Structure 1
Amino acid sequence: MTFGRQPSTLTLLSTYRCTAACENCCFASHPGIEERLSLTDMLNAIDQAAALGSISLVVFSGGECFMLEEELIIAVARCTERRLASRCVSNGYWATSIKAAHDRLDPLRRAGLRELNLSTGDHHQKYVPVERIAFGAAAGIALGMHVVVVVERELDRNFRSQTLLSHPALAAIRDHPNLTVFDSPWMPMEDRASVKHGAGTLANRSNLHRRPGCDSVLDTMVVNPRGEVGACCGLTREQIPEMKIGSLSDMTLAEMAGSAGHDFLKIWLSVEGPEHILAWAATKDPRIDWEDLYNHHCDACRAIYQDPRVRAVLARHWHERRDDILSRYRLAHDRTRPVVPEETTAVISI
């Protein structure tokens, strides 16, 4: 028996190879990485996602998914054949002009692609100039796509979303309903001091009520270039062994989705979010330091799994929150079934 929530999204990180090598890249992507998911494995995963029934969207990311060339078009077409929507996430390196961007996107549009996500900011622009983002966005809108541009946000940055919107290539479409541009926190992957955020943006008791549950864990299944499957699309997922739920070579997506749905900590993350869990753990052990440390929820999630004091608290006290969290989870995702706490597994081991 599984819990109410079933994944709605499959993300294929088919390669960590990228034309850029941004500092603090969540997967340490760079041009020299060769390992990648085969086309056969991608198509197999798409077929399994369609068979699962709950998945409606397949996201192609990386690394840089546009480096897959023709295989990306084939994979997008398979999604369309299986009645799954598709999205591509890219740094936009290929958009050297509006015409070049149009020529690159049009085969994907004809294969069924309807959403393009582009990433930019101070780090990305060391490798991909901002005009390519503008050209890519303009071409995508002209082709009838929904275009989302995510701009890195950190303290003392030079580039902001308004800077992009003022680019001449976007003059005619900056208010287009299919164009969304927003800022998202850039986060440290190794050295915390290398990324700074303003004090008002960091999680603490005064703003904890504004921190929601995680909308990725248990809702998104991610396949990495090794064929390993994760239970979320989080930026720190590769640094959290417990987020790996299996491998395409050993289990089906349906089997992995079922097993992940029995993990209480993942359910808890979904219901309350990592900042709330850290705050609660600190009430049990005041030595746990969490306030004014985390801007991005993936950063806070990593702390839950890597801080030995947090792990110790959760291992000893998780059952105190079990019934409350499971009740709220079921209310949110499946109102037809009673709570069965015995279905969950222990939250964490130390």
Structure 2
Amino acid sequence: MTRISNGENASAVFDLGLMQIQISANTAAERNMQTGVQPTSLTILPTYKCNASCRDCCFQSNPRLSTRLSGKAILDRINEAKAKFPSIRQIIFSGGEALLLKGDLHDAVRLASELGLGTRLVSNGFWGKRQQTSEAFARDLRTSGLKELNLSTGLDHQEFVPEESIVQAAAAAISQRITTLITVEVDSAESKCLESLLAHPSIHTLNNTGLLRIISNSWMPYDSSESARHAPNSGTQLRKGCSQIFNNITIKPNDRLSACCGLTLERIPELDLGANSGNNMRELYDAQQDDLMKIWLHLDGPHQIISASTPGHLQSKLDDVVHICQACTLLHRDPEIAAYAQAAAVRMMPELITRFTIRVEADKHLKRGVTHVQP
């Protein structure tokens, strides 16, 4: 972790010819107030327990795990996030399988809705096995105020939750006017999960509602020797800045705060921001403003950082990378790559802070609807 430190009062002036930007603040919190960096979403991972045991699951989820957030803790964190971050617009519930929390999940969705926040649930669709059950689940979710449902499926998932359950869960949700996304992991050379789903007779009907979208995402191995699988246009996505850092905050089942909700967050200690005390969420979030590597991740993403800061023999390790979270793990866990990147971040500190400040200021103007620049 490379932090900005220029004594008690951090101050820097960067001359860009026609523009001069000055940052002067005593603390990360004060700098944050100046630059206007604010999260727009809160992700709650209330449990890693799942009724499936998918191979290479990012969180190694399975039915035997027991650590979880209590119902009270979930409600408290939602209330705190709303009070400390007026910029938050959406709460995302994922896991594990968040629906295993039953009433606690519905209470959390209801609270978020009452606070005027959007709500999204990520689920494996286990509850779509029978029509009556799926309709009851969807009805309860809608009554709680759920706005969006994301269903995860593909080769690994379908060992535990068949395609028919996914389709039936989607149909039940859409019947309740819940916007639904089905994410299919990229197929292997032998599997045809996406093709089969698109050919399902019910999918055409659901597509006509305007409430269903289906996408295919890259699949990355975690602990097995299986080959990664590229999604179309994954190369373009790999080379972008990380949209999670600074824009999202995540609460894990152990009630610790994370800088992102990425697939490999538990494998990268630097993403852990600290334990929630009940009133320190703002402080934990603000403290990361001093971390140059997070600023660089936000701007360029891990793939570009590795490409820009390491010699060729290390860049070749990117050849098998198909997902931005996979690149982030490589950046933090490969000692040689991490050392080169940290040294480069120090050398590039003026450039990184300047670019970050310009981007934040530009975003603020765009949000205010600025459409022209006066000569």
Describe the SS at the equivalent of 2:294: helix
Q: Offset at 1:201?
A: 7.0
What residue in structure 2 maps to residue 139 of structure 1?
A: 172
Q: Offset at 1:179?
A: 0.8
What residue in structure 2 maps to residue 112 of structure 1?
A: 145
What residue in structure 1 maps to residue 286 of structure 2?
A: 258
CA contact (8 A) 1:213 1:271 kept: yes
What residue in structure 2 maps to residue 235 of structure 1?
A: 263
Pairs within 5 Å for 1:283-302: 283=311, 286-302=313-329
Describe the SS at the equivalent of 1:89: strand
What residue in structure 2 maps to residue 305 of structure 1?
A: 332
What residue in structure 2 maps to residue 75 of structure 1?
A: 108
1:211 aligns to 2:243 (yes or no): no
The count of residues paired between Structure 1 and Structure 2 equals 331
Map Cα deviations across residues 148-176 of structure 1 (whole Å, 9 max, x no partner): 11001154151343421222232311243
What residue in structure 2 maps to residue 46 of structure 1?
A: 78
Query: Can you give the 5+ residue segments of structure 2 that lack an aligned partner in the other structure?
Result: 1-29, 365-375
What residue in structure 2 maps to residue 344 of structure 1?
A: none
Q: Distance in 2 between matches of 1:198 and 1:83?
A: 38
Describe the SS at the equivalent of 1:66: helix
Q: TM-score normalised to the size of structure 2?
A: 0.83
What residue in structure 2 maps to residue 59 of structure 1?
A: 92
Pairs within 5 Å for 1:107-256: 107-191=140-224, 193-197=225-229, 211-249=239-277, 252-256=280-284
Q: Offset at 1:320?
A: 2.6
Describe the SS at the equivalent of 1:222: strand
Map Cα deviations across residues 192-228 of structure 1 (whole Å, 9 max, x no partner): x32333699775xxx69x7211111221111111001
| Distance change in 2, residues 1:143/1:172 (3 Å) | same
What residue in structure 1 maps to residue 306 of structure 2?
A: 278
| Distance change in 2, residues 1:260/1:199 (3 Å) | closer
Map Cα deviations across residues 1-54 of structure 1 (whole Å, 9 max, x no partner): 214321111111101110100001000000111111101110011001111211
Q: Distance in 2 between matches of 1:267 and 1:289?
A: 24
Map Cα deviations across residues 246-302 of structure 1 (whole Å, 9 max, x no partner): 11137522111211222111111111011100101224x744533312000000000
Mean Cα displacement is larger for which, 71-80 or 162-171?
162-171
| Distance change in 2, residues 1:103/1:334 (3 Å) | same
Across the aligned residues of Structure 1 and Structure 2, the Cα RMSD in angstroms comes to: 2.2
Q: Distance in 2 between matches of 1:154 and 1:91?
A: 17
Mean Cα displacement is larger for which, 289-298 or 28-37?
289-298
Q: Distance in 2 between matches of 1:200 and 1:17?
A: 31
- Aligned AA for 1:296? H
Q: Distance in 2 between matches of 1:198 and 1:137?
A: 25
Larger-gyration structure (1/2):
2
| Distance change in 2, residues 1:266/1:131 (3 Å) | same
- Aligned AA for 1:233? C
Describe the SS at the equivalent of 1:273: helix
CA contact (8 A) 1:278 1:290 kept: no
1:35 aligns to 2:73 (yes or no): no
Query: Can you give the 5+ residue segments of structure 1 that lack an aligned partner in the other structure?
Result: 338-350
Describe the SS at the equivalent of 2:185: strand
Out of 327, 330, 341, the residue aligned to residue 314 of structure 1 is 341
Describe the SS at the equivalent of 2:341: helix
Map Cα deviations across residues 62-91 of structure 1 (whole Å, 9 max, x no partner): 000010111111110110121111111000
| Distance change in 2, residues 1:198/1:168 (3 Å) | closer
Describe the SS at the equivalent of 1:31: coil
| Distance change in 2, residues 1:98/1:170 (3 Å) | farther
- Aligned AA for 1:32? R
Q: Distance in 1 between matches of 2:341 and 2:206?
A: 49
Q: Distance in 2 between matches of 1:111 and 1:6?
A: 27
Q: List, as ranges, runs of 4+ consecutive aligned residues in structure 1 with deviation greater than 3 Å.
A: 198-203, 285-289
Describe the SS at the equivalent of 1:197: coil
- Aligned AA for 1:256? L
Q: Offset at 1:126?
A: 0.3
1:87 aligns to 2:138 (yes or no): no
1:16 aligns to 2:48 (yes or no): yes
